[in-house]
Chain A
Amino acid sequence: MPELNALLPNLMRRLPEFWKACGDTLLMEVWSGAIIFVLGLIFGIILTVTKPGGIMENRPVYQVLDKIINLFRSIPFIILLTALMPLSRAIMGTAIYVRGVIVPLVFGATPFFSRQVESALAQTDKGLVEAALSMGSSPFEVIFRVYLRESLAPIIRAVTITIISLLGLTAMAGAVGAGGLGDFAIRYGHDRNMQDITWVVVGVLVAGVSVVQWLGEYLARRNTH
């Protein structure tokens, strides 16, 4: 321990706070990630089946969803964070801390993940869909037994990319009072020039990204034949 105290003086003095920041980041990831996963999957599927030539072609639905996703993707996240504060208060009861940042995170990353899902599903051979329909599958069966099942690997990759980019967003959310590692690094590492804290936070994030990336790739490969 003395060695660590010498190497990372500022961090060691704030260890409890550091662990809490890690926990908060994880909490933000898990909560918003779960919601984004469900919503993005649904929107990605709706985009895929309602687009022209899709199995449940529906021009109005497709056009509206397509435009909304483009709209939210083009708003910089930092602006979304402040713009959605009233909505956050209305839904979650607060606009700060972990609870307060779930809404902007969902709005910020769902459109991204929806597009990822859409492009994952687009890799499904149209011939497979046609074959399934010819065997008497209903459109819903085609969604679950062909689209989702046959795109498992690309969907896993889409989840991986989204989790990683969500990590970046949670760090940014820290700037507006969400807490977490981003907030921790800015408050101490940047504002008070405690470089050991900056480096440790970077190290933790790199490790987190690596684990997610490795796990995603492993699962994707296991589902490729």
Chain B
Amino acid sequence: MIELEHVVKNFHADKNSAIHAVNDVSLKINNGEIFGIIGFSGAGKSTLVRCINLLERPDSGSVKIDGVEMTALKPKELYKARTKIGMIFQQFNLMPSRTVLQNVAYPLRNMTREQVRAKVRELLALVDIPDKENAYPSELSGGQKQRVAIARALANDPGILLCDEATSALDPQTTGAILQLLKDLNRKLGLTIVVITHEMEVVKNICRRAAVMDAGKIIESGDVFEIFSSPKHQVTRNFVRTTSNLSKIETLIKDESPMVRLKPGEVMARLVYIHADVSEPLISYASRAFDLEINIILADVEIVAGVMVGGTVVIFNGESERIERAMKYYREKNIRVEVIQDARA
């Protein structure tokens, strides 16, 4: 278990000003889970993850891994502890003057040449890139580089793998493959994985639990589905929106698309399903019950952590008071209604 308590890390740009990169963060990550930390760039998530293996030493607070206080370790003990915490990076950070074999062998010690070779081959097979051991990193694609980096990070059989924007330099297809690999490793080895990312997609794809970070603080954390379906904080809402088709409506309005131009008396609203039974025919029911025309402009429903989330953007057309009643009905059904544009008098 990784336990962070009141971790603070400041950077001093000059003598008078300090940047609170990590500002009083407490967090618990259980063994064997994939935990996401999401935030926009500059939110402090990279610094926070470096506080776990003490690449950044916190100014105050406690970092415990399986009950061992990391900040109290002597240098030699810390180096030893770090061999049990793997880390991979956005830029892969493979050593360019070493072959794949030599890169993966880098953290191995006290082994004969044959033992090293056998271990490296086993690791390369594990990350599914067995035929590249004599290639140099410059000869590999991004996805292959990250696989080698993962093999290297797992060389000393760590219990924890820290991923710092590990898929941010990869194309969507390769990202998917690497995430699948991480999921498999988590299952096969019982590996605890901490994923730092600015992409909601990544968290949605592999994490059960996550924390949202902004300006050095954790502003929201818990079940990914909870965060996704009912974001409490504006920053979280922005994140959720980045992955949803529903956010396209803002662009359409800005571009003055004829699709979203309202006639007098119409109301445009975003309906977001929270805990709703999406299978219920909500649109057609409301249309009939309140005698309204409800035009679906955009719809986006998807599966997050095994549960349906999403919503639609609709235009209500009808009597003003009936539109109110329809929106009230939706709210009662646990659907969040956000009025985007209102063309009633």
Q: Which residues of A contact B (CB under 8 A)?
A: 125, 127-128, 130-138, 145-146, 149-150, 152-153, 223-225
The distance in angstroms between the C-alpha atoms of A182 and B96, with both chains bound, is: 42
Evaluate contact between B107 and A225: CB separation under 8 angstroms: no
- Beta-carbon nearest neighbor of A138 in chain B: B79
Evaluate contact between A127 and B91: CB separation under 8 angstroms: yes
Evaluate contact between A152 and B97: CB separation under 8 angstroms: yes
A146 with B95, Cβ < 8 A, contacts A127-B89, A135-B106 known: yes
Evaluate contact between A131 and B97: CB separation under 8 angstroms: no
Evaluate contact between A136 and B83: CB separation under 8 angstroms: yes
Evaluate contact between B75 and A138: CB separation under 8 angstroms: yes
List 9 A–B pairs whose Cβ atoms lie within 8 Å, in order of A's numbering: A127-B93, A134-B55, A134-B87, A135-B152, A138-B76, A150-B97, A153-B97, A225-B96, A225-B97
B197 contacts A by Cβ under 8 Å: no
Chain B residue contacts of A127, Cβ below 8 A: 89, 91, 93
The distance in angstroms between the C-alpha atoms of A153 and B55, with both chains bound, is: 28
**Residue of B80, B91, B138 with highest tally of chain A CB at under 10 A:** B91
Partner of B55, one of A133, A149, A152: A133
Evaluate contact between A135 and B82: CB separation under 8 angstroms: yes
Chain A residue contacts of B75, Cβ below 8 A: 138
Evaluate contact between B106 and A145: CB separation under 8 angstroms: yes
The distance in angstroms between the C-alpha atoms of A225 and B81, with both chains bound, is: 32
**Residue of A125, A137, A225 with highest tally of chain B CB at under 10 A:** A225
**Residue of A134, A138, A225 with highest tally of chain B CB at under 10 A:** A134
The distance in angstroms between the C-alpha atoms of A83 and B334, with both chains bound, is: 88
B53 contacts A by Cβ under 8 Å: yes
Q: Which residues of B contact A (CB under 8 A)?
A: 53, 55, 75-76, 79-83, 85-87, 89, 91, 93-98, 106-107, 136-138, 149, 152-153, 155-156, 162
Evaluate contact between B93 and A128: CB separation under 8 angstroms: yes
The distance in angstroms between the C-alpha atoms of A134 and B162, with both chains bound, is: 10
Evaluate contact between A130 and B107: CB separation under 8 angstroms: no
- Beta-carbon nearest neighbor of A132 in chain B: B106
- Beta-carbon nearest neighbor of A141 in chain B: B79
**Residue of A133, A138, A146 with highest tally of chain B CB at under 10 A:** A133
Evaluate contact between B95 and A133: CB separation under 8 angstroms: no
Evaluate contact between A135 and B97: CB separation under 8 angstroms: no
The distance in angstroms between the C-alpha atoms of A136 and B83, with both chains bound, is: 5
Chain A residue contacts of B85, Cβ below 8 A: 134
The distance in angstroms between the C-alpha atoms of A131 and B94, with both chains bound, is: 8
- Beta-carbon nearest neighbor of B96 in chain A: A225
CB distance from A72 to the nearest CB of B (A): 31
CB distance from A151 to the nearest CB of B (A): 9
- Beta-carbon nearest neighbor of B79 in chain A: A136
The distance in angstroms between the C-alpha atoms of A137 and B86, with both chains bound, is: 13
Evaluate contact between B91 and A136: CB separation under 8 angstroms: no
Evaluate contact between A125 and B93: CB separation under 8 angstroms: yes
Chain A residue contacts of B138, Cβ below 8 A: 225
The distance in angstroms between the C-alpha atoms of A89 and B137, with both chains bound, is: 53
CB distance from A115 to the nearest CB of B (A): 23
Q: Which 6 A-B pairs have the closest CB atoms?
A: A136-B83, A131-B93, A135-B107, A134-B87, A127-B93, A136-B82
Chain B residue contacts of A128, Cβ below 8 A: 93, 95
CB distance from A122 to the nearest CB of B (A): 16
The distance in angstroms between the C-alpha atoms of A224 and B149, with both chains bound, is: 20
**Residue of A135, A146, A223 with highest tally of chain B CB at under 10 A:** A135
CB distance from A166 to the nearest CB of B (A): 27
CB distance from B87 to the nearest CB of A (A): 4
**Residue of B53, B55, B94, B95 with highest tally of chain A CB at under 10 A:** B95
CB distance from B102 to the nearest CB of A (A): 10
Evaluate contact between A131 and B79: CB separation under 8 angstroms: no
Evaluate contact between A134 and B96: CB separation under 8 angstroms: no
- Beta-carbon nearest neighbor of A223 in chain B: B97
CB distance from A56 to the nearest CB of B (A): 11
**Residue of B79, B86, B136 with highest tally of chain A CB at under 10 A:** B79
Chain A residue contacts of B97, Cβ below 8 A: 149-150, 152-153, 223-225
- Beta-carbon nearest neighbor of A151 in chain B: B97
Partner of A131, one of B76, B81, B87, B136: B87
**Residue of B106, B149, B153 with highest tally of chain A CB at under 10 A:** B106
The distance in angstroms between the C-alpha atoms of A133 and B153, with both chains bound, is: 12
The distance in angstroms between the C-alpha atoms of A127 and B55, with both chains bound, is: 12
CB distance from B219 to the nearest CB of A (A): 27
